[in-house]
Amino acid sequence: MVSKALVINKKDNVATATKDLEAGEELELEVGGEKVKVVLTGPVETGHKFAVREIKKGNPVTKYGETIGTATRDIAPGEHVHIHNVESKRGRGDRVKGAEA
Amino acid sequence: MEFWGYRRPDGRVGIRNQLLVLSSVVCANRTAEAIAEAVPGAIAIQHQHGCAQLGADRDLTAKTLIGLGKNPNVGAVIVVSLGCETVPAQEVADGIAETGKPVVPLAIQEEGGTIATISRGIQEGRKMAEQIARLRREPFGIEHLILATECGGSDTTSGMAANPAVGAASDLVVEQGGTVILSETPEFMGAEHILAQRGKDEVTGQKVVEIVNRFERELLRMGVDIRGTQPAPGNIAGGLTTIEEKSLGCIYKGGTTEIREVLGYAEAPTEKGLVIMDTPGHDVESVTGMVAGGAQVVVFTTGRGSPTGNAIAPVIKVTANPKTYKKMEDNIDIFAGKILDGEETPGDVGQRIFQMVLDVASGAKPKAEILGHREIAFYRIGPTA
Give Cβ neighbours of residue B4 (< 8 Å, ≥ 6 apart): B137, B138, B139, B140, B361, B362, B363
pLDDT band, residue A97 (cuts 50/70/90): low
- Domain of residue B85 covers 18-133
Facing A88 at nearest CB: one of B220, B243, B248? B243
For residue A101, tell me if it sits in a domain: no
Q: Write the single-letter amino acid at B100.
A: G
Each residue of B119-161: pLDDT tens digit?
999 999 999 999 999 999 999 999 999 999 999 999 999 999 9
B245 in the same domain as B151: yes
Residue percentage of chain B with pLDDT more than 70: 100
For residue B186, tell me if it sits in a domain: yes
Facing A91 at nearest CB: one of B216, B238, B241? B216
Answer whether residue A101 shows pLDDT above 50: no
Q: Which residues of B touch A18 (CB under 8 A)?
A: 340-341
Each residue of B292-335: pLDDT tens digit?
999 999 999 999 999 999 999 999 999 999 999 999 999 999 99
Q: Note whether A88 contacts B: Cβ–Cβ < 8 A.
A: yes
The whole model's pTM is what? 0.96
Please report the pLDDT score of residue A33 as a whole number: 83
Q: Across residues B100-119, what is the average pLDDT?
A: 98
Answer whether residue B27 shows pLDDT above 50: yes
Answer whether residue A62 shows pLDDT above 60: yes
B156 in the same domain as B115: no
State the first-to-last Cα distance of chain A, in angstroms, to the nearest integer.
Answer: 53
State the first-to-last Cα distance of chain B, in angstroms, to the nearest integer.
Answer: 50
B288 in the same domain as B175: yes
For residue B259, tell me if it sits in a domain: yes
- What's the number of CA atoms in the CB half-sphere (13 Å) around residue B221? 6
Answer whether residue B259 shows pLDDT above 50: yes
State how far residue B304 is from chain A, nearest Cα, in angstroms: 11
Each residue of B183-208: pLDDT tens digit?
999 999 999 999 999 999 999 999 99
Question: How many whole angstroms separate alpha carbon B165 and alpha carbon B49?
Answer: 36
B221 in the same domain as B306: yes
For residue B12, tell me if it sits in a domain: no
The complex's ipTM works out to: 0.94
Q: Note whether B383 contacts A: Cβ–Cβ < 8 A.
A: no
- Give the chain B residue whose CA is nearest to the CA of A88: B242
B179 in the same domain as B319: yes
CB contact (8 A) between residue A8 and residue B186? no
- Number of A/B CB contacts below 8 angstroms equals 119
Q: Which residues of B touch A45 (CB under 8 A)?
A: 239
- Please state the domain count of chain A: 1
Answer whether residue A1 shows pLDDT above 80: no
Please report the pLDDT score of residue B224 as a whole number: 85
B182 in the same domain as B112: no
Answer whether residue B285 shows pLDDT above 90: yes
B210 in the same domain as B129: no
What is the CATH number for A30?
2.30.130.110
Answer whether A63's CB lies under 8 Å from B195's CB: no
Q: Across residues A8-12, what is the average pLDDT?
A: 95
For residue B8, tell me if it sits in a domain: no
Element (H, E) at A78: none
- Domain of residue A47 covers 5-91
Question: How many whole angstroms separate alpha carbon B359 and alpha carbon B342?
Answer: 27
B300 in the same domain as B327: yes
For residue B326, tell me if it sits in a domain: yes
- Please state the domain count of chain B: 2
Q: Which residues of B touch A21 (CB under 8 A)?
A: none
For residue A96, tell me if it sits in a domain: no
DSSP three-state, residue B59: helix
Average pLDDT value over all residues in chain B = 96
Would you list the DSSP string of B221-279? HHT-B-TTTSS-HHHHHTT--SHHHHHHHHGGGG-SSPEEEEEPTTPPPSSSEEEEE--
Please report the pLDDT score of residue A2 as a whole number: 61
- CB count within 10 Å of CB B189 equals 26
DSSP three-state, residue A90: coil
pLDDT band, residue B227 (cuts 50/70/90): confident
Answer whether residue A96 shows pLDDT above 50: yes
